[in-house]
Each structure stands twice: as structure tokens, then as C-alpha cells.
Amino acid sequence: MKVRSSVFASTILILEVVGVALFLRGFFPVPVKSSLSSKNKLSDLPPEPLTGGPSNASGTPKPLFKRVVIMLVDALREDFVFGPNGRMFMPYTRHVIERGSSLSYVAKARPPTVTMPRIKALTTGSIPGFIDVVMNLNSPALLEDNLIWQAKTAGKKIIFYGDDTWVRLFPKHFMEHDGTTSFFVSDYTEVDNNVTRHLDSTLKRDDWDVLILHYLGLDHIGHISGPHSSLIQPKLLEMDDILKKIHGALVSKEADGSLPYLLVLCGDHGMSETGSHGGSSEPEINTPLVLISPIFKRKAEMEKPGVVEQVDLTPTLALGLGLPISQNSVGHVIPGVLEESSLREQLRFLHLNGHQLSCLLKDSTPEYEKETGFEQFRVAEKAHGSWMKLYLEGNTSEVLTNMGKKVLKQYLEALAAMSSALSKQLGKYDMYSMIAGMVFVFQLLLVLLLAMPEALSGSASVDLPVLSSLLSLPFYLLCLFLASVHVLVCTSAESSCYFCSLSWGLVFAAVAFSSAMFCILISLARRRLPFGSQFHGKSPQISSGSEWMLSELDVLLLAGTVGHTLSLAASSFVEEEHQTWYFLLNTLCLTVFQDVCRKYFREQRGSGDEEEPILSKKSQTFSHSGSDIYSEKWLALATPPFTLLCCRLLRSLNQTGVQWAHLPDVGHWLNSSEHKVILSLLSAFCLGLIYLLVQRRCSWVSKVALAFGLVGVYSYRAAVGNVLFPWQHSSRTTSKGTVEARFVYVFILGILFSGTKDLLRSQIITADSKLKSKGLWEIYSGLVLLVSLLFRAHNLPVLCCCLLIQTLMAQFIWKKLHYDAAQTTIMHYWFGQAFFYFQGNSNNIATVDISVGFVGLESYVEAPAVFLTALSTYAGPLLWACHLVCYLSSERDRSPVAVGHGCYCLALLRSVPAAAYIVLVTVLRYHLFIWSVFSPKLLYESMHLLLSAGVCLFFITMEQTQPK
């Protein structure tokens, strides 16, 4: 079966996406969940254990607290409260911690330290899987069993003020709520005032049981200026005042002799030294947890806070409020909270917690009976029963107390063991799915590699022996073999495997596909081999001597691609991947510069040079237009240094990565309010330049549309408040700019439509390559307009430089130096990668700018939001890939198969690192940084693969040349 290179490459890439998806499904552990879909109910609670006869009473334990106030300060770091500066930052809190009746702990948050997964962890008590971060983009209602639902079902009245993530997670759960959006990160006063303004009236009232306050200001300050900024202290003092106010109000209400109150001060996650969060560094995961209640012992001095898990708060609060612990909670109750209640109650609480944990353990692990924690719990339960028997008989001796204490200790040990066993399950990988995905990807990659000589040949088509391999005996044997392996694996003990849960049809298709791939692989390899064996001994010398003369550029391109792939094995190189690309890009520009110099300076001395007669002839023909060639020479010579300069400037626009992310960059400088004028001028200039660069090859209709669109972009930025409008009243409030953005969308759609129309016309009616390249260019300019709308104002220079470099390079370098399709493709790919980081991205999920998902939308709508976010994140690589299509199809006169070659190279360039990376991740799956460094990169890598598959499809439509 003969297929064109582009079709071949795109098919392979799409299938690779499927393979990677299977791998991802196996790699990201599904969070520990109980198989029961219902939620825990009060009536389901186990009876108090009692040996000999069923226990009669006390199905529900008495709650410890009447009212609970949870004050959640976003990004509250442990040292803000407990550290040496704590006394300065939060004087009242420190006083209560040191002298008052309180308990203080350092609560460890699990990575990813992002707000939404943290809220989920705090309310459900489970540890959300990594995949929840991706779901952070949209937060649908939480359906899992959780504390808020339990409280509401028990008839507790809950009031919530703060981040509206809560309102979205728990719709209709709150008696009263006022969600503030964290949409504008630059605002750190309004968000908190919106919460505090309700406080006075609420505290006076008596009609609520749980009050939750979520303060966002501190987190915003961290994002703006880091944990050492001067804004931190006033904000913390404000928080301290609020705590004082709440505490005072609670104390004054306490007198009526009912159950006591509980005031909880906690943070959802910490803040790294650069002020961001999401990773797993110490300052990010350590948050303070301060419990204040009159039932706790009064402290005499500052004690070193103990360490607990953040999820331990959930069962503690549930038990404290007399609610069932939510089903999937993996934490265990904090023993200090229970200390002042009676021994019987303490044992009862621990028993309930243990029962819940053992149920979860039973549900999630097949071999739960072998777990030490489970065993310990059974023993403790039995001991508890006999203790109860003695207790109910009225025994009050010392022996009984000692025995009770022993049971208590047993319970605590069992709880800790079960809790850690459950948490550890997150580290379990579905190896079978991972290996299956990996095998797919590798088969595809090998086929891609083996087809290289044909795919890059003059005919740009690959002859795949599909039929012959489908009819061969090995294919059927292999099918049989793989199917039996599948059955064997799936029927063996490990049943929690995604690939096994697929339907039989799908599995059989996968098995058949894999065996077919294997047969094709073998026959392709056989086809390559005879070439080597026939000319044994002779051919390598010939080929190495004459054909495989690599220029410096080729060596660099090869070494760079291989080196980058290898560098992904080191966590630092993944964190600082932008450095790799900048470094390679710089070297590339220098090598190109050398090539240009060589060309022009050799030509100058051409006539006396008998070595290169072709060149000297050329210089004679050129000499007709002396001044033209002269200016062209200097422009060509100036292009690489100019590119280098652009890259150096862009590099200081956004500092990314980890090690140097805290350094001041131009982006922050531009975004500060005192430089608004400069930012406005800069973005206006950039938009003008973008217009000049893009309009050259558009039809006049598109030119007008483009101009209006770019003006619309500027007015959108002005409406949002990023830049100044010349005739704007300074006191105008910022809006969301929906109207302006939609205005731009109209023009984008117009341009895209006219481009598509041209393309279709050239495809179907006339085989006019000029019309085609015009249509292509219009689609490209539509994309540029869309990107300029989505990019933040300070990132417009990135877009500008991108267009400028593309224009100059295409004009003076790629065309003039006769680089072939493969070289051009690799260069485009490198530029695309570098621009991905120039625009401020990194391999950390935290740098994805979600706010672009709201451009032109009133509220969150999933599909466009995801699309826009993906587009703006990958704008750099996409723009360069699109430019590659435009460039290669305009070069068709020179080399008719250039598009096919380009598509093949792009597919190869993308699949080599992706395939290598999934192997690396599998090998490094127990690495310390697997969740904080390698997994986010894996997500980025797969997303990029998906987008490249899309671009390759675009290539196919372009390659359809008229038959010869």
C-alpha cells in the first residue's frame, strides 16, 4: 500500500496520541475511592463494640463542638505564623498559640498545591489525584461524599464567604454565601473586603453552625510580589485582626453553657520563595493549622507544633461535629483534639474513624487482610469490646484505665498504619496499561524511523506492506499470542487495570493492530537490510564518503535533537527546559550566521576561485543589479544577529523555570501600574508592526478586517484595564471587555472564512497554487489576530518578534541559502519550542494562564475555554508550524515534495521526545520529583503531541498537488 509521506506521518502521529493516552490513563493513578456510590449515613454507623451481646446504645457519639468557624487563608505559609516573624505578622494569633487554649500543628498539604485540589482534599479527606489539577480548569459540583454534604444533611446551617470555587463545588449547600472571584489576580484588597464586610452581622447572629471564610488576598500578593514583599505584613495583620474579632465574638457568645465553639485557622497550601505554588517544595506544602477552643488545655509557653497531614482535619471536624466521616477520607483524627473527653468517648471516636478507614481499605485493596493496619484494627476492636464489657459492668479500677489507654494506643497505631497504606496507593501504577501504551508508541516510532529513506525520497511516498503482513502466518500467531497474554494478565490477581476493563472488541482491535504493526515493522526492517548485506563492506565507505557529508548545521540539528531528548532525564533540565532551547536556538543562529558569511564572503572572492565555479557564475549573473545584491547581502548578513538580539530581549521578558524564576523581568516591570503608559505605547507599537508584517500578502478585505481587529484588540486591553486609552476617563471601572473581544472574534472568523474559501476554491475548482497560498496566508493571519487577542499586553512583543523573525528568515535565509525541507522544519520546530518559553510558559502547570479561557465570555463555558487556553499556551509552536506550512507550500516550485517532507520531519521531531519521555517517566516513577516535575511535563508533552497531530492533518490538505 503506497501512502504519501504526509498521510503516513499524520496517521502515525494520531495513533501515537492514542498510545500516549492509554499510557497516561495507566500512569496517573485514579484516586482511592470507595466502590459504593452512596454516601455514609448516620444510620450506617457501626455499633460500639462490646463482647458478649450486642451493644444497645450510642450509635451516634455526642458532638464535641456546637459551632465551627473555619478561617482559610489562601497560601498561608507555616512560617508566617510559627516562624520568627510570626510575632510581628500575627501578634494576636501568636498570643493565643502561646498562652491560650489552642492546639497548633504544621499540616502537610500534598502536591499539587493548587487551591481547588486542596479544597477537595480538605472537604472529602481524600488525596485528589494529579489529574484533578487539569480539572482545576473547570470545577463542577463535587459529587463525592464530603464534609459539607454531611453537615448539610445533618441539618447544620453553613455560611460561606470567599473564593467562589467553593460555591461551584457545593452548589445549594450553603445557607448563605457570597463568592468572590479570583479572576483578577492583581486585586488583593477587594477580594478580602468582600469577605470581611459580612462578618460583623454574621457573628452577631445565632442561626448558623458552620462558618467558612476563604481569604484570597494573601495568595494574590504572593503571585504579584512574592513572600518577602512589603505587602505581606499589612495583609497578615489584617488577617490577625479578623481572627481576633471572630475569637472575641465567639468568647462572648460562649457563656450560655452549651457546647463550646471551635475556631480553625488554616491555609490551603503554602507559597514558594517566588510566591507561586503548585509544586512540592517545603514552603509550599507546610501550612499552619491552629485549633482554638475552650476545651483545649491552656498553654504555658510556645510549643513546637506537631506535624499532621492536611487531610487529618476532615475526620477531626466530622467527629467534632458528630457527623459521619466521609467515605473516601484517608486521614486519621488528630488525637490532641479528643484528649479532654472521656476515655469511652475517645475510644468510640477512634473506633468510628478506624471503621471508616478499614471499609475504604477493603474497597480499594484486594489484599486488605494482609495490611498490618487492618490487622491491628481488628485486634484493637476486640480489645475495645472487652474493655466496654468491663466498663459497663461498672468496673472503675486503675486496671481498667490502663487497659483503656492500651486500647487507645492500639487504635492510634492502627489508624496511622491504615492511613499511610491508603495514601501509598496513590503511588501505584497501572503497569499493564502503561506498557501497552508504550509498546504502541514504540512500534509506531520504529515504523516512522524505518520509513525515513522512502518518506524523504523524491517521490515522498511510503510503501507499507500492509496486505502482505495481514495475510502472513506470523500475524495470526502474534494475534493469538498477544490475546493469550492479555487474558493471562487480566485474569491474574491484579484486576485494577484500565486496559483490562476495556470492551473485548476494542481489545481485539488493539491486539490485531499491534501484531500488524509488528509484522510491518519486520518486513520494513527486512527491506532495509538487504541493501547493507548486498554491498557488504563496500557500501558503508561509499555512503560515508560522499553521500553523508554532513554540514555543521546538520551536525548541530542532529546533536541538538538527540541531546534535548536525553536531557529530559534530569529533573533540573526539565525544570529549566527553556534554557536548553534558548541555548540550542542561539547556537543555531550562530551556525546559520556562519553559513551566510561563508556564502557571501566566498562569493565575493568568487572569480579567482576555481573550486566553486557554480558560485562564481552566479555572482556574475547577479552583478547586473549591483546595488540590489549589495543591500540583499547586508540584510542577509544582518538577519542572524538581529534574530539573536530579538531572542536575547525576549528571554528577559518572562523569567520562567525554577532556579531563576525569581529574578526581576521586563514583564513584571511593564505590568506594574506606574509603567502603564509605556506598556500602552509598546502594545500599540506592536499591534501596528503586526499589521504591517501580516497585511503584505492578504487580500484587501482581509487587510481592512485585520486593521479593525487589531484596533479591537487594543480596545479590549483598555477595557480590561491593562493599557490606557488616549481619550479614556481615568476613573472608568474595568469591565470584562466582552463586547470588545466579541468584536474581534467577528473579524477573526471573517478572515478565517475568506481564507478557507480561497483554499477550497483552489482545491476543488482550480488548481491554482497562488490562490492556495493566499488562502493559507489568510488563515495564518486570522490565527495571528486571535493570538494577539489572547496574549497578555506585555507578551505582544513576543508575537511581534515571531512575525519579524519569520519574515526575515524566510526572505533572506531559508530561500537564499537553499536549506532543504528537513532542515527548515527542524529550525521551525526549534524556534517554536523557544517561543513557547518566551511567552512565559514553563513545564509547571501553574504557569498556564487560565484567564484567557474567559476572553469574550460572560461565564465559564467549557469547550471554548479549553480551546482558547490550549491555543494561547501553545501559540508559539503553533504559529511556527503554521508558518512552516505556508513557507513550504510557497516553495513548491523548487521542490514539489517539500510539504510531505516537512510533515514527516515534524512528526518525527515530535514523536522522538514523546516516546523517549514516556520511557523515562516509567523508569523514574519512584523519583522524588515525579509529581512535581515529571508529571506536569508529561501532560505538556502529550498535549503538544495532540496539537502536532492536528497540524499534520493540515499538512495533508496542503500536499494535494496536481497529478503529474
Q: Which of 834, 793, 514 is nearest to 666 (CA)?
A: 793
Q: Residue 268 binds which one of another protein, Zn ion, none, with CB within 5 to 8 A depending on kind?
A: Zn ion
Measured from the CB atom, is 646 or 865 closer to another protein? 646
E runs forming strands in 782-855: none
Question: Cβ distance 795 to 653 under 8 Å?
Answer: yes
Least distance in angstroms from the C-beta of 307 to Zn ion: 21
d(CA 250, CA 71): 13
Any idea what the Cα angle at residue 343 is, between residues 340 and 348, rounded to 5°?
A: 105
CA atoms within 13 A on the CB side of 689: 17
Closest distance of CB 680 from another protein, Å: 26
Considering only the C-alpha atoms of the chain, give the largest distance between any 2 of them, rounded to a whole number of Å: 117
Q: Which is nearer to another protein, 182 or 571 (CB)?
A: 571
Q: Is residue 927 part of the contact set for another protein (CB under 8 A)?
A: no
> Which residues ranging from 312 to 371 are in contact with another protein (CB under 8 A)?
none
Residue 7 vs residues 12, 164, 882, 884, 911: alpha-carbon distances, Å: 9, 47, 17, 17, 15
Of 879, 735, 734, nearest in space to 802 by CA: 879
Residue 429 binding another protein, by CB under 8 A = no
Toward Zn ion, which CB reaches closer, 869 or 889?
Answer: 869
> By CB under 8 A, is residue 662 in contact with another protein?
no
If DSSP states are collapsed to H, E and C, what string results for 919-964? HHHHHCCCCCCHHHHHHHHHHHHHHHHHHHHHHHHHHHHHHCCCCC
Q: Residue 547: name its binding partner from another protein, Zn ion, none (Cβ under 5 to 8 Å by kind).
A: none
642 binds another protein (CB under 8 A): no
Any contact of residue 550 with another protein (CB under 8 A)?
no
One residue of 152, 651, 901, 937 binding another protein per CB under 8 A: 651
Q: Does residue 633 interact with another protein by CB under 8 A? A: no
User: Who's near 131: CB < 8 A, 6+ residues apart?
Assistant: 28
* Half-sphere exposure for 408 (CA within 13 Å, toward CB): 20
Distance (Å, rounded) from C-alpha 254 to C-alpha 251? 5
Residue among 480 and 570 whose Cβ is closer to another protein = 570
Per the DSSP assignment, residues forming a β-bridge with 211 are: 69, 159
Q: How far apart are CA 320 and CA 456, in angstroms?
A: 70
**What mask, x for binding another protein by CB under 8 A, covers residues 164 to 203?**
----------------------------------------
**Per-residue x/- track, 601-620, another protein (CB under 8 A):** xx--------x---------
* Rounded CA separation 592/831 (Å): 13
Task: State the Cα–Cα distance between residues 63 and 319, nearest whole angstrom.
Answer: 7
Of 48-56, 141-149, 569-577, 903-911, which part binds another protein (CB under 8 A)? 569-577
Based on the shown chain and the rule CB under 8 A, indicate whether residue 582 belongs to the binding site for another protein.
yes
**Is there binding between residue 526 and another protein (CB under 8 A)?**
no
Q: What cell does 935 get?
A: 508529571
Tell me: does residue 573 bind another protein (CB under 8 A): yes
**How far, in Å, CA of 16 to CA of 28, rounded?**
18
Query: According to CB under 8 A, which residues from 366 to 395 bind another protein?
Result: none
Answer with the entry of Zn ion, another protein, none that 598 interacts with (C-beta below 5 to 8 A by kind): another protein
d(CA 520, CA 449): 13
576 interacts with another protein by CB under 8 A? yes
Q: Which residues bind Zn ion (CB under 5 A)?
A: 74, 115, 219, 268
- Yes or no: say if 129 and 426 are a contact pair by the CB < 8 Å rule: yes
Does residue 548 touch another protein according to CB under 8 A? Answer: no
Q: Shortest approach of another protein to residue 581 CB, angstroms?
A: 11
CB of 215 to Zn ion, least distance (A): 10
Per the structure block, which three cell numbers stand in for 834?
523557544
Alpha-carbon distance 510 to 393, whole Å?
66
| C-beta nearest to Zn ion: residue | 115
SS3 69: strand
Task: Please choose which of another protein, Zn ion, none residue 648 contacts, taking the beta carbon within 5 to 8 angstroms, the exact cut-off set by kind.
Answer: another protein
Stretch that binds another protein, among 78-86, 352-360, 457-465, 586-594 (CB under 8 A): 586-594
Start-to-end CA span in the chain (Å): 20
DSSP letter (8 states) at residue 814: I
Alpha carbon distance 618, 614 (integer Å): 6
Q: Does 647 bind another protein (CB under 8 A)?
A: yes
CA–CA gap between residue 423 and residue 550 (Å, rounded): 54
Q: How many residues bind another protein (CB under 8 A)?
A: 25
Q: Which does 587 bind (CB under 5 to 8 A by kind): another protein, Zn ion, none?
A: another protein
- 659 forms part of the interface with another protein (CB under 8 A): yes
Among 558, 570, 760, 928, binds another protein (CB under 8 A): 570
The one among 251, 645, 681, 767 contacting another protein by CB under 8 A: 645
Of 153-161, 448-456, 474-482, 583-591, the window that binds another protein (rule: CB under 8 A) is 583-591
Alpha-carbon distance values, 767 to 275, 386, 647, 697, 770 (Å): 57, 91, 39, 19, 9
Per partner kind, with CB cut-offs from 5 to 8 A, the member of Zn ion, another protein, none near residue 115 is Zn ion
Give 163 or 430: the residue with its C-beta nearer to Zn ion.
163
What are the C-alpha distances in Å from 368 to residues 377, 498, 635? 12, 21, 73
Q: Which is nearer to Zn ion, 268 or 665 (CB)?
A: 268
Which of 341, 539, 572, 811 touches another protein by CB under 8 A? Answer: 572
At 332 the three-state DSSP class reads coil
Residue closer to Zn ion, measured from CB, 74 or 145 = 74
Least distance to Zn ion from the beta carbon of 193, Å?
A: 18
Check residue 63 and report its DSSP letter: P
Residue 611 binds which of Zn ion, another protein, none (CB < 5-8 A, kind-dependent): another protein
Quickly count: other Cβ atoms within 10 Å of residue 280's Cβ: 18
User: What does 219 bind: another protein, Zn ion, none (CB cut-off 5 to 8 Å by kind)?
Assistant: Zn ion
Based on CB atoms, which residue is closest to another protein, 367 or 610? 610
Residue 309 CA to residue 329 CA, distance in Å, equals 12
The answer to whether 648 contacts another protein (rule: CB under 8 A) is yes
The contact set with another protein (CB under 8 A) reads 570-573, 575-576, 579-580, 582-583, 586-587, 590, 597-598, 601-602, 611, 644-645, 647-648, 651, 657, 659
